[in-house]
Amino acid sequence: MASDTIDVTYVARLARLNLSADERAAFQSQLGQILDYVQAIRGVDVTGVEPTAHAIRVQNRFREDVTADGLAMDAILANAPQHSDSQFIVPRIVE
């Protein structure tokens, strides 16, 4: 079965990944092969079959509405690439 073509540039942008020209070319061909291979699932009769999102049949897992201690500020800031005045700092946000 013919597979869909993958627009690697578009998908990489959705995934916020800069790809080099080499990577783009390699992925284009490798992912093309992989997509050809996964077409196999199209041949399976799934009429009336419910999708499985969880491997277990569990429902209604709730927690009580109680507060708990959070993370100490020094631990948070020690992990932050950039911070100032207890805030995480990022460059300009283009909306």
Partner 1 sequence: MGSLNTLTVRQAVDHLEQGACSSEELVRDLLSARTALDGTIQGYLQMDGERALAEARHADADRKKGRRGRLLGVPLAVKDILNVTGQACRCGSRILDGYTAPYDATAIARLRAEGAIFVGRTNMDEFGMGSSTENSAFGPTRNPWNSACVPGGSSGGSAAVVAADMALAALGSDTGGSVRQPAAFCGCTGLKPSYGRVSRYGLVAYASSLDQIGPLTKDVDDAALLLGVMAGPDPRDSSSVEALVEDYAAACGSDLKGMKLGLPRDYFVKGLEPAVEAAIRAAIERCRELGAEVVEVSLPHTSVAIPTYYIVATAEASANLARFDGVRYGFRAEGAEDVLEVYAKTRAQGFGPEVKRRIILGTYVLSGGYHDAYYVRAQKVRTLIRRDFEDAFKTCDAILAPVAPTAAYRLGEKMADPLQMYLGDIFTVPASLAGICGLSVPCGFTPAGLPVGLQVLGPAFGESRVLRVGSAYQKSTDWHRRRPALAAEGGR
Partner 2 sequence: MKYLTTIGLEVHVQLKTRSKMFCGCPTGPGAPPNTQVCPVCLGYPGTLPVMNGEAIRLTVMTGLMLGCAISPYSKFDRKNYFYPDMPKNYQISQFDKPLCLGGSVEIDAGGGAVKAVRLTRIHLEEDVGKCIHQARRSGVDFNRAGVPLMEIVTEPDMETPDEAFAFLLALKQMLLYLGVSDCNLEEGNLRCDVNCSVRPEGQAELGTKVEIKNMNTFKGVHVALQYELDRQLEAVRTGERIVQETRRWEPEAGATAPMRSKEQAHDYRYFPEPDLMPVVLPPAQVEAWRAALPELPRQKRERFAAQYGIPEYDARVLAAQKAVADYFDEAARGASNPKLISNWVMTEMLRRLAEREMDIRDCKVTPAALRELAALAEIQAINSNTAKEVFAILFEQGGDPAAVVRERGWGQNSDGDAIGALADRVIAENAKSADDYRRGKEAALKFLIGQVMRLSQGKANPQMATEKLVQRLGRPGGTG
- Which phi and psi (to 5°) does residue 84 adopt? -160, 135
One residue of 71, 74, 78, 81 binding partner 2 per CB under 8 A = 71
Beta carbon nearer to partner 2, 24 or 29: 24
Assess 68 for contact with partner 2 (CB under 8 A). yes
Q: CB of 50: closest distance to partner 1 in angstroms?
A: 6
The 8-class DSSP code of residue 81 comes to S
Burial class (CB in 10 A: 0-12, 13-18, 19+), 8: buried
- Contact flag: residue 47 with partner 2 (CB under 8 A): no
**Residue 89 binds partner 2, judged by CB under 8 A:** yes
Residue 78 sits in the site that holds partner 2 (CB under 8 A): no
The secondary structure of 24-47, three-state, reads HHHHHHHHHHHHHHHHHHHHCCCC
- Shortest Cβ distance from residue 47 to partner 2 (Å)? 20
Could you say which DSSP state residue 13 is in?
A: H
Applying CB under 8 A, which of residues 54, 74, 78, 81 lies at the interface with partner 2? 54
